[in-house]
Amino acid sequence: MEITHPSIDTYLERLHPSEDPILAEMEEEGNRRNFPIIGRVVGRLLFQLVRLSNARRILDMGSGFGYSAYWMALALDADAEITLTDFVDENLKQAQEYFRRGSIRCTPHFYAGDCLALLDQLEGEFDFVFNDVEKELYPEVLEKIPQRLRSGGVLVTDNVLWHGKVTEPDPDEATLGVLRYTAGVFEHPNLFSTVIPVRDGVSISLRR
Ligand SMILES: C[S@@+](CC[C@H](N)C(=O)[O-])C[C@H]1O[C@@H](n2cnc3c(N)ncnc32)[C@H](O)[C@@H]1O
């Protein structure tokens, strides 16, 4: 199920220019590999949220070849940092190359492996976390991330409407992961959450 009508999606895509040549290249790469990137509508939303929250330390969970992270990095100043994570080393090498060629001022870090395991190795709080990992792992993200966010920090999660499967009977494991996560961010005592039905659904949770 498409969340928004395809003609609305096309209209929105056209309204949201991709102003950066590296992002345009990455969008082409996403199409070529049929790789699920967030696209420019959600990319621009991330850029705005990073700026609005004055984020300086970001964790990108499930970076692929770096498209979502690149949008957030564009919004960061030189004294800021972003950590990209992915199971697949090749994806991160590709991301590293895009970051090297792009107009990024902040410091990127690249970590190959399970980002939930990485959390135990990283110290301190984050200002901003973007979650796009395997959907079965979403409940674990909810268990681990809120206490790692500073007060006033932001947790953004992609695919919370999961192609409409969240409204269907007999959910599979991935859908159950999304359902549990989404119910959880609304029930969480330290989060204030909303769901925006753009693309595949994006949740935005503010750490109280
Ligand atoms: C939907 S793609 C990410 C796309 C990226 N966020 C973007 O929009 O440009 C999901 C990626 O997350 C990675 N991934 C899934 N679960 C992960 C985990 N627990 N730790 C690290 N990477 C993970 C997968 O290898 C895949 O490349």
The chain-wide mean pLDDT, for the chain, equals: 96
- For residue 201, pLDDT beyond 90: yes
Task: Give residue 4's pLDDT.
Answer: 87
Ligand 1 centroid to residue 192 C-alpha, Å: 25
**Whole-prediction pTM value?**
0.97
Task: Give residue 2's pLDDT.
Answer: 84
- For residue 18, pLDDT beyond 80: no
The answer to whether the CB of 86 is under 6 A from ligand 1 is: yes
Give the 3-state secondary structure of residue 122. coil
Ligand 1, atom nearest to 60 Cα: 6
pLDDT in tens, 128-183: 999 999 999 999 999 999 999 999 999 999 999 999 999 999 999 999 999 999 99
The answer to whether the CB of 200 is under 6 A from ligand 1 is: no
- 92, 112 in Cβ contact below 8 A? yes
> Mean per-residue pLDDT for 25-48?
96
DSSP conformation class of 160: T
The answer to whether the CB of 85 is under 6 A from ligand 1 is: yes
Model confidence at 13, pLDDT cuts 50, 70, 90, reads: confident
Task: Give residue 17's pLDDT.
Answer: 80
Task: Give residue 16's pLDDT.
Answer: 84
> Mean per-residue pLDDT for 24-31?
97
Ligand 1 centroid to residue 191 C-alpha, Å: 23
The answer to whether the CB of 68 is under 6 A from ligand 1 is: yes
- For residue 105, pLDDT beyond 90: yes
Task: Give residue 1's pLDDT.
Answer: 82
Give the 3-state secondary structure of residue 58. strand
DSSP conformation class of 5: -
H helix and E strand count, the chain: 8, 7
- Backbone φ and ψ for 6, nearest 5 degrees, come out as -55, -35
The answer to whether the CB of 33 is under 6 A from ligand 1 is: no
